[in-house]
């Protein structure tokens, strides 16, 4: 992977991925998310992300939003269990304008009380809207089932009660504890000289004072598989089946990414889609997902179907999982699975914003960014025996949890 990294004396790292395009992309990633919230502070990381766009020491809300939009740029942000990310796409001449805004909103936001009050209402509306979407809500509830009693199971949006109770002190306490310079990456993808990137980052981010501190993330708790079923005022029944899975550092991570893609990943040719949708016509949407995190991971299969077909759909899913546990992939099947996965990754490089964010996360997690050749070599090194071992670990019926939302007929 063609990239360079400049580390500032205060610990912030700046990654540059050169491209020949006149369109540039940039992000700033902070290793702080919803799992870092204190008890009863559910949704605080996401709340802070919203407020970053409201007011700083030198800009009001309109000035923040117009700073990039007036030059046709796009500015946005998101929060996950472990990260907060601000990102922008813009024309080549506007890099300094974009990074200057990043520096201002991330390090100099003032979080005024009046903006907090307004944004609480926005997020409460977001929570209500989210709860009206059973396909979204069931996945959040499933994560709570997997990590019951741990903050990894919390909804990133928080609850009505927790959001209403947030104070300025909560915000500044979270920032002081979790916004550590040595866990902040600024990523840039664009047609620039690296010396210019280094000089610009020193000018804009070099003035941030060092703030290294120890942070102790709560270790994951003991997993107790469960099967739960709830009746909801919805038209379809929805189901999630899954398990805790491997972390980003586990030796089987690459193998499980490959196996998950074969089972229910992108595209219409996944085993679950061919069996459940194409052959039996039971579900319009069926997919599996594997999300590795720093010390654990989440594997899940989601589908929605008519109430009278939910039992049959579950049985068909269980049959596909049993096949992967009992039958080793043949050489042709393994080759095809690898070629499909490799092709999807290669095409993903065309999404340059997604690429620079992915590279920045990799630098954060591993201290390096693998080249495509390295990534493909790891995929090609996976064997059928390893996939069989992974399937028996991840798809063990005794370890799978299940959550069903039944429609009220």
pLDDT, tens only, 134-172:
888 999 999 999 999 999 999 999 999 999 999 999 999
CB 259 within 8 A of CB 393: no
Render pLDDT for 34-76 as a digit per residue (tens, 0 to 9): 999 998 999 999 999 999 999 999 999 999 999 999 999 999 9
Give 272-322 as a DSSP string. Answer: HIIIIIIIT---S-EEEEEEE-SS-EEEEEEEEE-GGGHHHHHHHHHHHHH
For residue 5, the number of C-alpha atoms closer than 13 Å in the C-beta half-sphere is 16
**CA–CA distance, 409 with 402 (Å, rounded to integer):** 21
- Residue 216 CA, distance from chain mean position: 21
The verdict on 141 and 233 lying in the same domain is no
Q: Which domain CATH number covers 238?
A: 3.30.830.10
Segment 216-261, tens digit of pLDDT = 788 999 999 999 999 988 889 999 999 999 999 999 999 999 999 9
Spatial separation of the C-alpha atoms in residues 114 and 164, rounded to whole Å:
13
Same domain for 157 and 97:
yes
Q: End of a domain among 175, 205, 235?
A: 205
> What's the mean pLDDT in 335-342?
97
Over residues 346-371, mean pLDDT:
94
- Confidence at residue 131, expressed as pLDDT on a 0 to 100 scale: 76
pLDDT, residue 213, reads 79
- Does the pLDDT value for residue 1 go beyond 70? no
**Helix (H) and strand (E) counts for the chain?**
15, 11
Same domain, 282 and 335: yes
Q: Is the pLDDT of residue 28 over 70?
A: yes
Whether 28 maps to a domain, the answer reads: yes
pLDDT attached to residue 258: 98
**Residue 212 placed within a domain:** no
Alpha-helical (H) ranges within 154-236 are 160-165, 168-178, 194-205
Say if residue 174 is in the same domain as residue 30: yes
What 3-state DSSP class applies to 242? strand
Q: DSSP per residue over 23-81, as a string?
A: EEEEEEEES--GGGPPTT-TTHHHHHHHHTTT-BSS--HHHHHHHHHTTT-EEEEEE-S
The DSSP 8-state label assigned to residue 166 in this structure reads -
Supply the pLDDT for residue 45: 98
CB distance 13 to 205 below 8 Å: no
How many domains would you assign to the chain? 2
Q: Element (H or E) spanning 357, and its range?
A: helix 352-366
In a domain, 99, yes or no: yes
Across 2-24, average pLDDT: 96
Whether residue 218 lies inside any domain: the answer is: no
Q: Is residue 311 part of a domain?
A: yes
pLDDT of residue 216: 79
Q: Is the dihedral of CA 116, 121, 125, 127 positive or negative?
A: positive
- Kindly report the CA angle at 140 between 135 and 146, in degrees rounded to 5? 125
CA atoms within 13 A on the CB side of 103: 18
Q: Clarify whether residues 245 and 164 are in a common domain.
A: no
**Is 199 in the same domain as 283?**
no
In this predicted structure, what is the pLDDT of residue 132? Answer: 78
73-84 per-position pLDDT tens digit: 999 999 999 999
For all residues of the chain together, what is the average pLDDT?
95
Location of structure tokens 């398990």? 243
Are 262 and 195 in the same domain? no
Q: DSSP assignment, residue 150? A: S
Find the angle CA(17)-CA(296)-CA(286) to the nearest 5 degrees: 85
In a shared domain, residues 299 and 267: yes
Do the domain assignments include residue 355?
A: yes
Residue 152 counted as domain residue: yes
| Residue range(s) defining the domain that contains residue 24 | 4-205
Based on the fold, state whether residues 395 and 257 are members of the same structural domain: yes
pLDDT tens profile 179-218: 999 999 999 999 999 999 999 999 999 999 998 877 778 8
CA distances (Å), origin 322, targets 53, 310, 317, 326, 383: 49, 18, 9, 6, 19
Do 268 and 318 reside in the same domain of the chain?
yes
Same domain, 288 and 331: yes
Q: 78 near 138, Cβ under 8 Å?
A: no
Please state, in angstroms and rounded to a whole number, the distance separating the CA atoms of residues 376 and 402.
33
The strand order across the sheet containing 74-79 reads 4-7, 13-18, 184-190, 23-30, 84-91, 74-79
Structure confidence by residue, pLDDT tens digits, 269-315: 999 999 999 999 998 899 999 999 999 999 999 999 998 899 999 99
If you compute the radius of gyration of the chain from its CA atoms, what whole number of angstroms results?
A: 22
Burial class of 409 by CB neighbour count within 10 A (0 to 12, 13 to 18, 19+): exposed
pLDDT at 59: 96
H-state helical runs in 327-351: 331-348
Does residue 216 sit within a domain?
no
pLDDT tier, 409 (very low <50, low <70, confident <90, very high otherwise):
low
- My answer on whether 77 and 192 are in the same domain is yes
């Amino acid at each position: 992977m063609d990239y360079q990294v400049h580390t500032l004396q205060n610990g912030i790292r700046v990654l540059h991925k050169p491209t020949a395009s006149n369109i540039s992309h940039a992000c700033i990633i902070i290793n702080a998310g919803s799992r870092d919230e204190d008890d009863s502070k559910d949704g605080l990381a996401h709340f802070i992300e919203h407020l970053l766009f409201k007011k700083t020491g030198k800009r009001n809300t309109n000035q923040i939003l117009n700073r990039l939009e007036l030059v046709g740029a796009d500015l946005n942000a998101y929060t996950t269990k472990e990260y907060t990310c601000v990102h922008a796409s813009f024309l080549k001449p506007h890099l300094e304008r974009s990074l200057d805004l990043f520096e201002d909103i991330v390090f100099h936001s003032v979080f005024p009380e009046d903006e907090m009050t307004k944004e609480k209402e926005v997020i409460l509306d977001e929570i209500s809207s989210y709860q009206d979407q059973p396909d979204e809500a069931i996945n959040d509830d499933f994560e709570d089932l997997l990590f019951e009693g741990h903050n990894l199971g919390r909804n990133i949006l928080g609850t009505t009660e927790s959001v209403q109770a947030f104070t300025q002190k909560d915000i500044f306490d979270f920032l002081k504890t979790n916004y550590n310079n040595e866990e902040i990456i600024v990523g840039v993808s664009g047609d620039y000289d690296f010396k210019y990137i280094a000089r610009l980052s020193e000018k804009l981010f070099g003035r941030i004072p060092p703030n290294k501190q120890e942070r102790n993330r709560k270790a994951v708790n003991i997993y107790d598989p469960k099967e739960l079923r709830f009746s909801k005022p919805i038209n379809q029944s929805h189901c999630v089946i899954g398990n805790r899975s491997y972390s980003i550092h586990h030796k089987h991570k690459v193998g499980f990414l490959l196996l998950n893609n074969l089972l229910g990943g992108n595209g219409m040719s996944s085993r679950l889609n061919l069996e459940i949708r194409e052959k039996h016509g039971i579900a319009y949407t069926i997919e599996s997902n594997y999300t590795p995190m720093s010390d654990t991971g989440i594997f899940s299969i989601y589908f929605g179907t008519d109430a009278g077909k939910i039992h049959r759909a579950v049985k068909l899913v269980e049959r596909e999982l049993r096949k992967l546990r009992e039958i080793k992939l043949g050489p042709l099947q393994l080759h095809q699975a690898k070629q499909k996965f490799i092709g999807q990754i290669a095409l993903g490089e065309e999404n340059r914003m997604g690429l620079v964010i992915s590279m920045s996360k990799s630098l954060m997690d591993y201290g390096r960014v693998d080249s495509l050749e390295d990534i493909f070599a790891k995929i090609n090194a996976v064997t059928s025996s390893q996939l069989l071992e992974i399937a028996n670990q991840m798809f063990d019926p005794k370890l799978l949890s299940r959550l069903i939302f039944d429609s009220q007929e």
